[in-house]
Structure 1
Amino acid sequence: MKVVDLRSDTVTRPTPAMREAMARAEVGDDVFGDDPTVNALQERIASLTGKEAALYMTSGTQSNLAAIMSHCGRGDEYIVGQMHHTYRWEAGGAAVLGSVQPQPLEHEADGTLSLASIEAAIKPDDAHFAKSRLLCLENTLGGKALPMSFMAEATALARRRGLATHLDGARVFNAATALGVPVREIASHFDSLSVCFSKGLGAPVGSALCGSKALIKSAQRWRKMLGGGLRQAGVIAAGALYALDHHVERLADDHALARRLAEGLQGIAGLTVERPETNIVFIDVAGDRAAGLLPHLESRGVLATGLYRLRFVTHLDVDAEGVDRAVAAVRDYFNV
Structure 2
Amino acid sequence: MTLPDTAARRKVIADFRSDTVTTPTPEMREAMARAEVGDDVYGEDPTVNALQAEVARLTGHEAGLFMPSGSMTNQVAIAVHTRRGEEVVCAEGSHIYEWELGMMAAFSGVVPRFVPAPLGVPDPAQVRAAVRRSVHQSPTGLISLENTHNKAGGTVIPLDVLAQIRAVADDEGLPLHLDGARVFNAAAALDVPLHEVTRHFHTVSVCLSKGLGAPVGSVLTGSREAMKQAHRYRKMLGGGMRQAGVLAAAALVALRDGPARLKDDHRRTRQLAGALVDAGYRVDLAAVQTNIIYVDLPDAQQRVEEWDARGVRASALGPGSVRFVLHHQVSDEALEGAIGVLTA
TM-score past 0.5 threshold: yes
Give the conservation status (yes or no) of the 8 Å contact 2:301–2:316: no
Residue 192 (structure 1) aligned with residue 203 (structure 2): yes
How far off is 1:101 after superposition? 1.9
Matched, 1:48 2:58: yes
2:283 alignment partner, one of 256, 272, 281: 272
SS in 2 for 1:210: strand
Is the Cα–Cα contact under 8 Å of residues 281 and 295 in structure 2 kept in the other structure? no
The change in CA–CA distance for 1:227 and 1:290 in structure 2 (over 3 A counts) is: closer
Does residue 141 (structure 1) correspond to residue 149 (structure 2)? The answer is: yes
* Alignment partner of 1:11 is 2:21: yes
* 1:305 counterpart residue number: 315
1:53-92 alignment, distance < 5 Å: 53-92=63-102
Stretches of structure 2 that go unaligned for 5 or more consecutive residues are 1-10
271-280 vs 234-243, which moves further: 271-280
Q: Is the 8 A contact 1:274 1:282 kept in 2?
A: no
Kept in 2, the 8 Å contact 1:265–1:273? The answer is no
Which residue number corresponds to residue 129 of structure 2? 120
- Equivalent position amino acid for 1:111 in 2: G
Matched positions, count: 328
Pairing partner for 2:333 from 317, 321, 332: 321
**CA 291–29 in structure 1, closer or farther in 2 if over 3 Å, else same:** closer
| Aligned residue runs from structure 1 range 125-204, under 5 A | 125-126=134-135, 128-142=136-150, 143-204=154-215
Following the alignment from structure 2 to structure 1, what is the Cα–Cα distance between the partners of residues 301 and 242? 45
Identity of aligned residues (%): 48
- The one-letter amino acid paired with 2:161 is F
Instruction: Tell me how far apart the structure 1 counterparts of residues 101 and 231 of structure 2 sit (CA, whole Å).
Output: 21
Structure 1, gaps ≥5 residues long: none
TM-score (norm 1): 0.94
Q: Which residue of 2 aligns with 1:34?
A: 44
What displacement does 1:274 show? 2.8
Contact 1:168/1:195 (8 A) holds in 2 = yes
SS at match of 2:195: helix
Q: CA deviation at 1:267?
A: 2.3
Map of 2:240 onto structure 1: 229
1:250-289 superposed matches below 5 A:
250-269=261-280, 271-275=282-286, 276-285=288-297, 288-289=298-299
Superimposed CA distance per residue, residues 152-173 of structure 1 (whole angstroms, 9 cap, x where no aligned partner): 1112112101111000000000
Amino acid at match of 2:128: E
Q: CA deviation at 1:125?
A: 4.2
CA distance in 2, matches of 1:64, 1:209: 8
Range 293-302 or range 193-202, more displaced: 293-302
Given the two structures, how large is their TM-score scaled by the length of structure 2? 0.92
